[in-house]
Amino acid sequence: MSRRAVVVGAGLAGMLAAAVLADAGVEEVVVLDRDELPDGPRQRRGLPQGRHAHLLMPGGLTAMEELVPGVSLRKRLLAAGAHEISLSSGMLAHTSEGWLRRWRREGPVMLTCTRALVDWTVRAAVLEHTGVEVRRAAAVGLTGSAGRVRGVRVSGPDGETDLAADLVVDASGRGTRIVSWLEGLGLSGVRTRTVDSGLVNASRVYRVPAGAERFPLTIVQADPYVSRPGRSAMVMPVEGDRWLVSCGGTRGGEPPADPEGFLRYTLDLPDPIVGRLISGAEPLTDVHLSRSTSNVRHYLDKAPHWPEGLVVLGDALGTFNPAYGQGMSVAAFGARVLGRELDRATGLDAPGLARRVLRGAARTVDAAWAMAVGQDVLYPGTRGGGRPGIADRAVTAYTRRMTRAATSSYAAASAIWDVTSMRTPPTRMFHPAAVLAALTGPPLPLLTGPPLTPGEREVLAGLDRTGV
């Protein structure tokens, strides 16, 4: 392996791709980012989503650890204050079908911390262990031809210059200009699909109240089955003894940015637990809103012609409703595909390399897309989804049954954790024990309130200033 690769974007997809390229022996790996990258876990302009809750699923973390060898990202994140949350026992989750029970048996464990901490930890580890160089610059186009990309056009203080590369990786995230960049090379015909539920996210950071340090992550999920806008809220512990509280609402059910409205929104959910928890907690920030959360898939992998020397990963390939916490893991899976294909290739210029990476990465995007879009199309006012077909309706009915069974069936609950933790593909939902559980339904009556321990009940009562 030899020569130069240029990666556009120093987010997760970009830094993980850079690690993989360096590990494959590429002589020079240059990562461009238009943002000033902070030397610590701090929020930055280029990552507006970083203000909102990000769950790091075990499947994604495992992939990241494989891609950045020699460092335990998990240990570094935990040392910096991240929390380990067991999906089986460490959460209070109110689903569309009611409260899930908590199990003594250990399930998959996810990490919670700020997105800024994940990004900084990964970036620092990659820069420590490789010769990857990060430059502050904005990419504004591609150079080369429709047959082969030869580099990136870069905008800097002295105007535009060309940076030659044997391989370009576009990891510039949701705002990618890849479709128009390809048109600049004379390549058209890329189909883009947008499914927009009008989702708005609103988040605020609180100090964890004294005594509530061990209170479980708490989530009230949206209900897509009732022909009403989806509304959800989550209290997620992050580093620095803080709670990051994020609400999400689809068109017609958007959370507001004013503090009183934010609290009221959480109290009006099917269970008021999030509002009760934060009603007496000290806020540390304003409420921050984000609106750009539609599902967007650029079908680059299906383009009639694809140039050699160009790969697209992470959100630049597809983004989806964040409710399932999949995007960071999908970014890592895409970089893993790049690594596998580089291992098999004779060099960066191996014929067909770029297209093989793109197709492999697209498969991981599609699995996440199906899960997110399958639910989003059910919300009123969703644009671009089309009417669900018979197959969609069958999957929806099955998922709903499975969720209902999971309120008290271990077989059903563990199938759901395995898929949402991104350790196994969605086909796990069709293992015989899971199918049987879905068909049989919940073995126990639905819980009428959250499954709290006596200690947690006391903490909640002590925090509650709402009188609900």
Ligand X SMILES: Cc1cc2nc3c(=O)[nH]c(=O)nc-3n(C[C@H](O)[C@H](O)[C@H](O)COP(=O)(O)OP(=O)(O)OC[C@H]3O[C@@H](n4cnc5c(N)ncnc54)[C@H](O)[C@@H]3O)c2cc1C
315 is an interface residue for ligand X by CB under 6 A? yes
Instruction: Give least dist CB 323 to ligand X, A.
Output: 8
25 is an interface residue for ligand X by CB under 6 A? no
Of 6, 7, 10, 217, which one interacts with ligand X (CB under 6 A)? 10
Element (H, E) at 140: strand 138-144
If we measure between CA atoms, which residue out of 262, 330, 425, 294 comes closest to residue 54?
A: 330
Contact map string, positions 73 to 112, toward ligand X, x by CB under 6 A: ----------------------------------------
Task: From 71-79, 319-327, 359-367, 401-409, give the range in contact with ligand X by CB under 6 A.
Answer: 319-327
Measure the CA–CA gap between 223 and 205, rounded to whole angstroms: 25
47 is an interface residue for ligand X by CB under 6 A? yes
DSSP string across 23-85: HTT-SEEEEEESSPPPSSS---TT-GGGGS--EE-HHHHHHHHHHSTTS-HHHHHHHTT-EEE
Chain positions 290 to 309 lying near ligand X, rule: CB under 6 A, are 290, 293
Chain positions 391 to 420 lying near ligand X, rule: CB under 6 A, are none
Counting beta carbons within 10 angstroms of the beta carbon of residue 367, is it exposed (0 to 12), middle (13 to 18) or buried (19 or more)?
A: middle
Instruction: Give least dist CB 60 to ligand X, A.
Output: 6
326 is an interface residue for ligand X by CB under 6 A? yes
Query: In terms of CB distance, is 250 or 409 closer to ligand X?
Result: 250
Counting beta carbons within 10 angstroms of the beta carbon of residue 193, is it exposed (0 to 12), middle (13 to 18) or buried (19 or more)?
A: middle
Chain positions 139 to 158 lying near ligand X, rule: CB under 6 A, are 139
Measure the CA–CA gap between 70 and 393, rounded to whole angstroms: 46
Instruction: Give least dist CB 386 to ligand X, A.
Output: 23
Q: Would you call 161 helix, strand, or coil by DSSP?
A: strand
Q: How many residues does the chain have?
A: 468
Query: In terms of CB distance, is 330 or 438 closer to ligand X?
Result: 330
What residue has token string 């650029």? Answer: 298
Contact map string, positions 197 to 236, toward ligand X, x by CB under 6 A: ----x-----------------------------------
Name the closest residue to ligand X (Cβ): 327
Contact indicator for 316, 310 with CB cutoff of 8 Å: no
Task: From 3-11, 70-78, 84-92, 370-378, give the range in contact with ligand X by CB under 6 A.
Answer: 3-11
Instruction: Give least dist CB 47 to ligand X, A.
Output: 5
How far is residue 144 from each of residues 58, 168, 184, 185, measured CA to CA in Å? 39, 11, 10, 7
450 is an interface residue for ligand X by CB under 6 A? no
Of 49, 218, 232, 295, which one interacts with ligand X (CB under 6 A)? 49
* Number of residues forming the site for ligand X (CB under 6 A): 38
Query: In terms of CB distance, is 153 or 400 closer to ligand X?
Result: 153
Task: From 45-53, 66-74, 215-223, 256-264, give the range in contact with ligand X by CB under 6 A.
Answer: 45-53
Query: In terms of CB distance, is 328 or 371 closer to ligand X?
Result: 328
Backbone angles phi, psi at 8, to 5 degrees: -95, 115
Q: Residue 142, Cα to own-chain centre: how many angstroms?
A: 27
- Sign for the CA dihedral angle at 119, 120, 126, 131 comes to positive
Query: In terms of CB distance, is 48 or 442 closer to ligand X?
Result: 48
The greatest distance separating any two alpha carbons of the chain, rounded to the nearest whole angstrom, comes to 69
Alpha helices in 225-283 (DSSP H): 259-267, 273-278
Chain positions 157 to 176 lying near ligand X, rule: CB under 6 A, are 171-175
52 is an interface residue for ligand X by CB under 6 A? yes
- Read off the tokens for 99: 């409260």
Q: Would you call 186 helix, strand, or coil by DSSP?
A: coil
Residues that bind ligand X (CB under 6 A): 8-14, 32-35, 46-47, 49, 52-55, 138-139, 171-175, 201, 290, 293, 314-316, 322, 325-329, 331
